[in-house]
Amino acid sequence: MNILLLGASGPTGQQVLQQALEHGDTVTALARHPETLEQFGQQVKVVRGDATSAEDLTKAMDGQDVIISTLGRGKALRAENLFTDAILAILQAASATGVHRLVWLSSFGVAHTYDSATFSQKAVYKTILRNIYENKAEAEKLLRASDLDYTIVYPTALTNGPATDTYRVGENISMKSAVLKVSRADVGHFMYRAAQDAEWIGRDAVITSGGN
């Protein structure tokens, strides 16, 4: 499979990349700073560019079977329109290249998953994370209105723990009174798996640890 990976240098993107390389897929990574992926050598085709540029995306997307996006803002508390700009650019590039499949990383608390959050989580989502979450929600509205075969992934609190392969995935998982967590390794495993078949096309996937 030919995969275009966005956000490959980030912690979750690295997990998706590892999955793809272990399975022998051909990976193209679009990166503003290609030097951050030098350790992969010839294993990964790195294209210098910006995920909010339709021109850069079109060049990188040509010949791909699927796009996997793990774009994020790191520790920043403002989105600066990253997610809406990226979706608009992806839609334009996908139309130009004929790529139809997108697996998109979001966050628990965005869109309908907000309703399943705890009271304390909702307080954070409405204050500290409000700007980022609102931009993610707007981006997802654009994605849902498109003709792409999308999957939107909503991980609960992310950790740097090891892969477990016992994680739970559902279209809606309630937090109840506990704050559920999931490792980036498990999220990367699921996102890669979701890109392989049609099971999660047109669906939301809330993912959390199987031990909760």
- Segment 162-187, tens digit of pLDDT: 999 899 999 988 776 567 899 999 99
What per-residue confidence (pLDDT) applies to 73? 86
Nearest by Cα to 204 from 136, 122, 158: 136
Helix H, strand E, coil C: the string for the chain is: CEEEEECCCCHHHHHHHHHHHHCCCEEEEEECCHHHHHHHHHHEEEEECCCCCHHHHHHHHCCCCEEEECCCCCCCCCCCCHHHHHHHHHHHHHHHHCCCEEEEECCCCCHHHHHHCCHHHHHHHHCCCHHHHHHHHHHHHHHHCCCCEEEEEEECEEECCCCCCCCEEECCCCCCCCCCEEEHHHHHHHHHHHHHCCCCCCEEEEEECCCC
The residue behind tokens 């939301």 is 204
Return the sign of the alpha-carbon dihedral for residues 167, 172, 176, 178: positive
Could you report the per-residue pLDDT of 86-122, keeping only the tens digit for each? 999 999 999 999 999 999 999 999 999 999 888 888 9
What per-residue confidence (pLDDT) applies to 178? 67
Task: Answer whether residue 46 shows pLDDT above 60.
Answer: yes
Domain that holds residue 198: 2-208
Average pLDDT over residues 124-138: 95
User: To 5 degrees, how large is the angle CA 37–CA 33–CA 38?
Assistant: 20
Read off the pLDDT band of 75 (50, 70, 90): confident
The residue behind tokens 């739970």 is 168
Across the chain, mean pLDDT equals 94
CATH number at residue 132: 3.40.50.720
Q: Is the pTM of this model over 0.85?
A: yes
Q: In total, how many domains does the chain have?
A: 1
Lowest mean pLDDT among 23-27, 165-169, 187-191: 165-169
Task: Answer whether residue 142 shows pLDDT above 60.
Answer: yes
- Residue 57, CA distances (Å) to 7, 22, 84, 147 in order: 13, 25, 15, 18
Nearest by Cα to 105 from 80, 134, 75, 139: 139
